[in-house]
Structure 1
Amino acid sequence: MGWTFRSSSLMHVPTLAHRSWHSDWAAMAGACSLGLLLLLLQAVVTVSLPVIVVRLNKAALDYVSDIGKAPLQRALQVTISDFMDPSGEVLQSTRVQILDVHVPFFHLKFLAGFGVHLSAAANFTIKVFRVPEPMELVLPVDLMADVHVARDSIGTLVLSVPTCSSIFSPASMLDGSNSTSQELLDLVQEHIRADLNNKLCLHVYGLVQDLNVHLGTLIGLSPVGPESQIRYSMTSMPTITSNYISLNIRAILFLLGKPILLPLHDAHPFVLPWPSGDEEAMATVGLSQHLFDCALLMLQKAGSLNLDITGKLNSKNNPLNTSVLGQLIPEVAHLFPEPTPVVLKVQLGATPVVTLHTSNSTLHLQPFVEVFAAPPNLALQFLFSLDVMVNLDLQLSVSKAKLRGSTSMLGGFQLSVATSNVGSVDMDQVHTLISTVFQKPLLDHLNALLGMGIVLPSVLNLHYVHSEVLVREGYVVVSSGLSYQR
């Protein structure tokens, strides 16, 4: 983005002054363009730094191995070409069919700096439709493959299989009484091995490609609220050790399609220390302070934290009316001799602040409260306004794939008069009434919002289970199991 100049269609020779004027403007335009470019680059750097670290441990690989047996068995159910039987006077084309594939062993382990090594054992039950007597045999096969794990251009995980091999063991007849000769059995095995040798690895490749499609659901917009979304993507190549794979995740929150951007603290990427949380858990998720700051800024900008509290006449639970208020502020009683409901309009002008200390998280709010009388069939009439400060205890939990929060009071409200239309307001008199009426609606409203939660990085149908949330200095750690549910 920069300055655009349109010259006149009339040709003229510029004077020295003209040249100087154009030169000055060109220099200014260049400076402005450079400044804008630097701002854009700064914004790109800001949103490119990771704010979440997802670490998948050995237990996660064990879980994938367990739930991956059935898909692998289905993938290995391939078609075998006909066997040319030489037993008769002429070669006879004989159908060969895999009746069943059983995978008794499937194991995954991390390859440091590369990806994952796959090893599996499969038993193929195969029928050869010979006439007059068909053959049924069991063929054991060991599969091995190295799966490379990387980041693609759009910021999601992508898997590839640079090496794959299959090792065949001798087949055994399913029916020991079968009179098939060893020579014929050897010919059948040779045919099946030659036919399956490439097909098995091709189907492993296909299974990995299907998994890539599923991993692609890591990115994309996930709803947070009616007008807000969050988008996750990887910022760099994954870090892979013999114990875990670690993913640096960028999280961008959007409100009405526009990103919520805050400068990262000290402009350094978030680093999750090792070890963190439960090393035996399938997944460890580190959430930086920056994520919480952006989420609260989004709620503030959306106006989601604002609320109205309306008093009722003759109510013990909410005695917020001019009759009760008039007992504390004489001018209110003078202006409204008949009892009239009072409305508190609560707005958060300042962004809420989350503070994360070891085993403790707090939420600091500075609401601005306007107090109105609400006469029947008339416009609201302003009485006075208050600056409020309140500290809340923030409890975090994980349900399915969402981080949720709930709050409770830490101490009381600090109230001070900002402006008044009813003369002097003695806060010692008004404090108890306002605090009593204000506290429950505020907590109910906040807990309903925070209880909606924010989606954590995950792929389609994958949930976090048995999660433990730990608060550390400046970040939060979630240790969790994983559950895949179709």
Structure 2
Amino acid sequence: MKLIFLAMLLFLWVSPMSMTSTDIVIRINQNGFDYVSNIQRELLQKAMSNISFPFPTTTKKKESGGLISRIANNGDIFGSGHSMMDKVMNINNVKIHHVKLPKLNVKLVTGVGLHVSMDVDFKMTGKHAIFGETEIKVRATVLTDIKVSKTPKGHVTLAVTDCKPIIRDMDIKFGLGLVNTVIWALQGQIREMLGNRLCQSVSSVLEEVNEDFDVSTEKNPFGDKVSLKYTLQKTPVVTGLYMEMLLNAEYTVNNQVVKLHNDTQEFTMPPGAGNKDTMVNLAFSKDYFSLLFIIGQESGAFNLEIPSTQECLANQMSTSALGAHIPEISSRYPQPLPVDMKIVLSQTPVVTFQNNQLIVQFAPYVEMFVVLPYSPDRYQHLLTINVGASLVAALHVEEEKLKISVSLQGDLKLEFASISFGKCKSKPSLLSEYMRTVFEKAYLPYINGTYANISVIVPVQCFLF
């Protein structure tokens, strides 16, 4: 079963308690499990509907003695191996036609894990050898304790540690009427068959959920070059109020794990933090976002080529537009020519928190090329400029994902790295407004579009069944 968020509170902390081993703290409150128990019944109902019952078997005993002995031992006066008593006391071809779970509760229990209590209503049919078609209605209660732990690979695993099936009510109707003695005997048979299989159904559901954990914790946020795997650092902590999990986000670029190197202590949720009225509280360490931007840089996701035909920069991608800020460019190219641009982020972004804001220091370089339509060397280098930018990353939750969007904070810092149009006496700051336009209309929308297409948030809904 999946958890769909109704509400979620996001926490960001810069704390001395931060290390690569724990990047995310997930705290699922009791009302999160209440939500699950109220609406997520389909998987369990399906498992209960798929219960199958074997045909009753009889053990053929070695016959000895005469008629009296055979009657006493088998109830079979003909010695045929199929006693009249077997036919009276057994029912065959039992099939489930409808299952309903009127009540399903999941409670957090300290030292136990999850305690699941469910009422199950069955409508079944069977065939009695003597009395014919049989209708059976059963109401059962299943009490189950589930332990939440981790596998050696760091995945969540759920296992039944205790299960008690209780058959509360049973109604059996024969096509030829009721026979109390027979009904009493059949009730015992059905209790035995159904009771054992109720707990087996719960275990089979958990096996399916455990298989989903292995798949759901691996993602490809920036394409085939990059993979992201979430792993538990330790067994989840369960109290009577919440279940808390500490996760590590492991990024791999070209099959190489990317790590931050620091010696500080692990990241935890501070005492008293969180909102007990929400279903899920999330806490992200600074390292989580540092890794996210480092991976984007190392995978080339923040590199952008802007052609002279870029619509959002109409009339900006030409020597005349640049010459309006740097006169030497107009002198070198008196006739307007198109200009292509390439933005490359080669330096690692630096992530910090300032005044409860996520700040990213970006330092890309921008190469500009004059496009010569009739020249064998179609692209002629114009200049390369180093840009220092401070970005503010806004965070919000949408459709079970953590969305990131960046915007410029303050002015751009510009520095000429190389010039190919001759001696230039102009200061690079003259291009500040021009480069700001390029960033705001082309580069930042590209970065935001990159983040819009990836799932930044850990799939919390997969950790609840």
Normalised to the residue count of structure 1, the TM-score between the two structures is 0.74
CA contact (8 A) 1:405 1:453 kept: no
Cα–Cα, structure 1 residues 134 and 251, in superposed 2: closer, same or farther, change >3 Å?
A: same
Q: Distance in 1 between matches of 2:337 and 2:145?
A: 76
- Looking at structure 2, the residues matched to 189 and 430 of structure 1 have their Cα atoms a distance apart, in angstroms, of 88
- Report the counterpart of residue 354 of structure 1 in structure 2: 351
Give the one of 115, 134, 140 matched to 1:117.
115
Residue equivalent to 1:436? 437
Match among 259, 262, 265 for residue 260 of structure 2? 262
Question: Separation in 2 of the partners of 1:316 and 1:344?
Answer: 11
Q: 54, 64, 69: which one pairs with 2:41?
A: 69
Q: Distance in 1 between matches of 2:194 and 2:369?
A: 81
1:188 — aligned with what? Answer: 186
Separation (CA, whole Å) in 2 of partners of 1:303 and 1:75: 46
Equivalences for residues 212-361 of structure 1 within 5 A: 212-264=210-262, 266-273=263-270, 275-311=272-308, 317-326=314-323, 328-357=325-354, 359-361=356-358
Distance in 1 (alpha carbons) for counterparts of 2:143 and 2:340:
70
Percent pairwise identity: 25
SS at match of 1:412: coil
1:27-54 per-position Cα deviation (integer Å, ceiling 9, x unaligned):
xxxxxxxxxxxxxxxxxx975x111122
- Structure 2 match to 1:31: none
Which residue of 87, 90, 93 maps to 2:84? 90
Equivalent residue number for residue 102 of structure 1: 100
Question: 1:145 and 2:156 equivalent?
Answer: no
Q: Secondary structure at the match of 2:159?
A: strand
Q: Deviations over 1:450-483 (max 9, x none)?
A: 2222343228xx589xxxxxxxxxxxxxxxxx9x
Q: How many pairs align?
A: 417
Structure 2 counterpart of 1:57, from 10, 13, 29: 29
Q: Structure 2: how far apart are the matches of 1:316 and 1:103?
A: 60
Q: Give the 3-state SS of the residue equivalent to 2:149 in structure 1.
A: strand
1:78 is matched with which residue? 52
Cα distance between partner residues in 2 of 1:316 and 1:153: 52
Kindly report the root-mean-square deviation, in angstroms, between the aligned alpha carbons of the 2 structures: 3.6
Q: What residue is the counterpart of 2:457 in the other structure?
A: 456
Greater mean alpha carbon deviation, residues 109-118 or residues 300-309: 300-309
Output the CA distance in 1 between the equivalents of 2:95 and 2:305.
69
Q: How far apart are the structure 1 equivalents of 2:215 and 2:253? A: 21
SS at match of 2:158: strand
Structure having greater relative contact order (Cα 8 Å, sep ≥ 6)? 2
Deviations along 1:215-252, one digit per CA (max 9) or x if unpaired, are 32243443432421111111111111112211111111
TM-aligned CA deviation for residue 133 of structure 1 = 5.8
Q: Once the 2 structures are TM-superposed, how far is the Cα of residue 210 of structure 1 from its aligned partner?
A: 2.2
Letter in 2 for 1:403: L
Q: Distance in 2 between the 1:357 and 1:54 partners? A: 24
Alpha-carbon contact 1:146-1:161 (below 8 Å) kept = yes
Q: Distance in 2 between matches of 1:179 and 1:345?
A: 86
TM-aligned CA distance change 1:337 to 1:125, over 3 Å: closer
The 3 A distance-change label for structure 1 pair 123 and 411 is same
**For 1:397-443, what per-residue CA distance to the aligned partner results, in whole angstroms no more than 9, with x for missing partners?**
33445433222333332323344443212345443334334431222
2:431 matches 1:393: no
Aligned equivalents of 2:207, 2:439: Cα separation in 1: 55
Summarize the Cα distance change of 1:138–1:435 in structure 2 as closer, same or farther, 3 Å threshold: closer
Q: Deviation at 1:126?
A: 4.2
Superposed displacement of residue 121, structure 1? 1.7
Q: What residue is the counterpart of 2:63 in the other structure? A: none
Counterpart code for 1:60:
G
Out of 336, 361, 366, which is 1:369 matched to?
366
Partner Cα distance (1:330, 1:223) in 2 = 44
- One-letter identity of the residue aligned with 1:50: T
Query: Contact (CA 8 Å) 2:218, 2:227: kept in 1 or not?
Result: no
Distance 1:306 1:102, change over 3 A: closer
Unaligned runs of at least 5 residues, structure 1: 1-44, 465-481
Q: Distance in 1 between matches of 2:313 and 2:303?
A: 24
Task: Give the CA deviation at 1:328.
Answer: 4.7
Cα gap change, 1:371/1:168 in structure 2, threshold over 3 Å: closer, same or farther?
closer
Q: CA deviation at 1:118?
A: 1.5
In 2, Cα distance between equivalents of 1:181 and 1:106: 35
Q: Which residue of 2 aligns with 1:445?
A: 446
Counterpart residue type for residue 443 of structure 1: L
SS state of the match for residue 180, structure 1?
A: coil
- In the alignment, the residues of structure 2 paired with residue 204 and residue 324 of structure 1 have an alpha-carbon distance, to the nearest angstrom, of 69
State the alpha-carbon separation in 2 of the partners of residues 103 and 206 from structure 1: 17
Pick closer, same or farther for the CA change 1:415–1:71 going to 2, 3 Å.
Answer: closer
State the alpha-carbon separation in 1 of the partners of residues 339 and 107 from structure 2.
65
Deviation of 1:295 after TM superposition, in Å, equals: 1.5
Judging changes above 3 Å, is the alpha-carbon distance between structure 1 residues 212 and 316 closer, same or farther for their aligned structure 2 residues? closer
Structure 2: gaps spanning 5 or more residues: 1-17, 59-73, 78-82
